[in-house]
Chains A and B, each alone.
Chain A
Amino acid sequence: MNTANRLAPYMFMAPAAVIMGLCLLYPLGYMIYGSFLDWNPSQSIGEADFVGFKNYINLFFDPAFRESLGVTLTFAVSVVIAELVIGVGLALLLDRNIRGMSLLRTLFILPMMIAPVVVGLMWRYMYHPTVGTFNRFLKSIGLEGVDWLGQNALLSVIIADIWQWTPFIFILSLAALQSLPRSALEAARIDGATNWQQIVYIKIPLMMPVLIVTALLRLIDAFKVLEVILVMTEGGPGLSTEIVALRISRTATEFRELGTAAAMSNYLLILLLLLTVAMFAFTRFQDARAARLARQVQEEG
C-alpha cells in the first residue's frame, strides 16, 4: 500500500512523460542536431555532413530569409495591435446587461473554431479580383476594384486574421471586465467620474494584467499561423506574404534542404522562447506584487 502510494505520481505521469519525451523533446533535439548538417531528404541523418554553424550564418545573410522574418514580424505585431484595440474596444462597449449576450458570444467564437484552411478558402473567394464579394460590392457602388491578393496581399492576410481572432481578445477582456471589483467602479461613479474617465483611469489599468497575458498569448499564436496564408496566397506574390513557417515548409519540401529548414526552425523557436519567457516573467512579477500588496494590507490592518 505504501509503495503503491509512493509510486502513484510516477505511474500517473509516465504515459504523458514518455509521449512528450519521444515526440516533442527528442524531435526538438534531433532538429537542433540536424541544423548543423548539410542534409537533404534522401539521406538519413547519419549520412549527412557536419557543417557547423554554416546554415545559421547563411540564413543570417540571406535576404529572402530576412524578408520573410520581416513579413512575419509585421504580420504578428500589426495583427496583435489591431485585435487588441478592436477587441478591448468592443468589450468596453458591450459590457452591459443585455438580452442574448450568450448567443452573441457563441456567434463570435465561430470564426476561431473553423479550420484555418476553410478560413483561407472563404477569404480567398471574397478577395477574388472578379468573382469575389468585395470587388463586386465596390463595383456595384461604382468604385474601382482593389487588387486584394496582389498588391495588397499582406494587408488582406492581416484583415483575415483580424476577422478570425479578434473575438478571442474580445471574450477574454469581457471576462476580465466582468470580474473587476464592483466597489472601485461604484466609488468612482459616486465621485462623479464620467464614463470615459472610468474607462481610462479604472477599467483599463485594472484589466492590464489580463490584457498583457492575452496579448502575449496571441502574439505567440500569430507566429504559428500558416494554413490561412498558404491557402490565400501561397506566400506570394513574390515573397510578400511568405511568413517564416511557410518558408520552413517550402525549404524542406521544395528546395529539399533539411539542414537549412532546421536552422530556420531554430531561429523561430528562439524568438518564441523569448516571448514565452517574457510572459512567465510577467506573471511571476504580477503574483509577487499581488502577494506583497496583500501582506501590506494585512500588516496595516
Chain B
Amino acid sequence: MQYQRQNPAFFALLVALIFMAVGPIVLMFANSFKLDVDIIGGTTGLLFLPTIQNYETALCDVLWYEPEHLDFCALKFGGAFVNSLIIALVSTLLTLVIGTMAAYALVRFRFFGRDTVSLTTLTVRMVPPAVLLVPVFGLWNNEFCIDKATYVGGWIRDTFGGRGDVCLAGTHSGIILIYVAMNLPFVIWILQSFIVQVPRSLEESARVDGAGPFQVFFKIVLPLIKPGLAAAAIFTFRIAWNEYLLASALSDRNTKTVPILIVNNMSEFNVEWGVIMATGMLLAIPPIIFTLFASRQIITGMTAGAVKG
C-alpha cells in the first residue's frame, strides 16, 4: 500500500488533534499519582514524585496490608469495583445470549407478530434511562417482590436474613435485569445486520443434513457472526459498566457500583482531587483496555448501527 506524502502543517494538525483527544485522560492519569498538595500547589507538567497513595486510599478495603497514611478506611472502593464487575459481566452475557436469539428469529423466520416486535424494538431504543427512573424505582421496590409469607420468600428470608418482602431493588439481579432490558433493543438491532449477511444456503445445507433449528443456530450462525457479537458485547459492557442513574436508584449499601461511589464523593464539600482521580482512573481502565484491543470491532459496530439503520 502506497502512502501519500503530506505537508508539515497537516502533521501539526494531527498532533494537535491527538493532544486534544487524549490530553484530558493523560492529565487525569498523571494527577492520580500526585498528592493533593501537588495538584493544588501548581506543579504543572510532569515534574513530580509519583505516589500510589491515592490508589491505596481508594482500594483500602481490599489491600492485604494497611497503608501507613490511613487511620480509617472510608472509601470502600474494592467492594464497589467487584459489584460493578459482577453486574456488567452478567448483564453483558445475558444480553448477548438473549439478543442473538431474538435477532436470529427476526431475520430468519416469518412468524405472526414479527413486524410488531421489530418495530417495538426499534422504538424503545430511544428511551432514556431518566425516563425509566420513576417507574423502575416504583416497580422494583413495590411490585417485583416475593411475599415473605410464601414458601420461596420465607426461604430467602430465612437464608439471607432481612425483613419485609423480598424485592428486586437493592439486589444485583435487580440492576442486571434493567440493564439487560435497556441494552436488548440495541443489541438486537446491531446483530440483525450481521445475521442478514450469513448466507442462507449454508443454513439450508445444514438443515438438509438433518440439523434442527437450534443446532443450525449454535453450530453455523453463531461462529459466523463473531465480529458482530464482539461489537455488541463491548457496547453492552460499556453501558452496564458506566451507568449511574438507575444503579443509584436501585442499589443499596452493599450493591453500590463504582460510578455511584464517585458521584457521592464528588458532591462532598471538599473534593480530594487525587483520590477521586484515582477512582476515576480505575473506572476508566477497563473501557480503555477494550478500546485499545478491539477498536476495529467498535468502529464496525458503530458504522453498522448508524449506516445500515
Chain A residues close to B by CB (< 8 Å): 1, 4-5, 8-10, 12-13, 15-17, 19-20, 22-28, 30-31, 34, 41, 44-45, 90, 93-94, 96-99, 102, 104-111, 113-118, 121-126, 131, 133, 136, 163, 167-168, 171-172, 175-176, 210, 213-214, 217, 220, 223-224, 226-227, 230-231, 234, 244-246, 248-249, 252-253, 258, 261-262, 265, 268-269, 272-273, 275-276, 279-280, 283
Contact = CB atoms under 8 A, between A and B. Distances in A.
A62 B257 CA distance: 35
14 contacts: A19-B181, A25-B120, A28-B131, A106-B291, A110-B291, A111-B24, A113-B291, A114-B288, A118-B281, A125-B27, A125-B277, A126-B27, A131-B39, A227-B244
A169 B245 CA distance: 26
B196 interface: no
A105 to B, nearest CB: 6
A118 B284 contact: yes
A20 B189 CA distance: 14
A158 to B, nearest CB: 16
A227 B247 CA distance: 12
B134 interface: yes
B213 interface: yes
A105 B139 contact: no
Contacts of B49: none
Contacts of A23: 136, 177-178, 180-181
Given A44-B142, A248-B133, A275-B126, A227 B21 contact: no
3 closest A-B pairs by CB: A23-B181, A245-B130, A16-B102
Contacts of A96: 4, 6
Interface string B170-210: 00000001101110110010000000000000000000000
B117 A121 contact: no
B250 to A, nearest CB: 12
Contact of B262 (A111, A121, A210, A265): A121
Nearest to A44: B142
Which of B125, B277, B284 has the largest count of A CB atoms less than 10 A from its CB? B284
A118 B266 CA distance: 11
A210 B135 contact: no
A288 B184 CA distance: 28
Given A117-B259, A171-B299, A20 B266 contact: no
A230 B263 contact: yes
Contacts of A136: 42, 44
A110 B22 contact: yes
Contacts of A253: 249
B227 to A, nearest CB: 15
A230 B134 CA distance: 18
Contacts of B102: 12-13, 15-17
Contact of A115 (B181, B284, B290, B309): B284
Q: Max chain B CB contacts within 10 Å: which of A5, A15, A26, A116?
A: A15
Nearest to B42: A136
Nearest to B109: A9
Given A31-B135, A113-B288, A231-B266, A12 B242 contact: no
Interface string B112-145: 0010010011111111111111111111001000
Contacts of B125: 276
Given A106-B292, A110-B22, A121-B277, A16 B133 contact: no
Given A113-B298, A117-B283, A175-B303, A8 B124 contact: no
Nearest to A120: B266
Contact of A226 (B44, B121, B245, B292): B245
B219 interface: no
A252 B137 contact: yes
Contacts of B166: none
Interface in B83-116: 97-99, 101-102, 104-106, 108-109, 111, 114
Contact of B217 (A12, A93, A106): A12
B78 interface: no
Contacts of B24: 111, 122-123, 126, 163
A121 B17 contact: no
A20 B135 contact: no
B267 interface: yes
Nearest to B266: A231
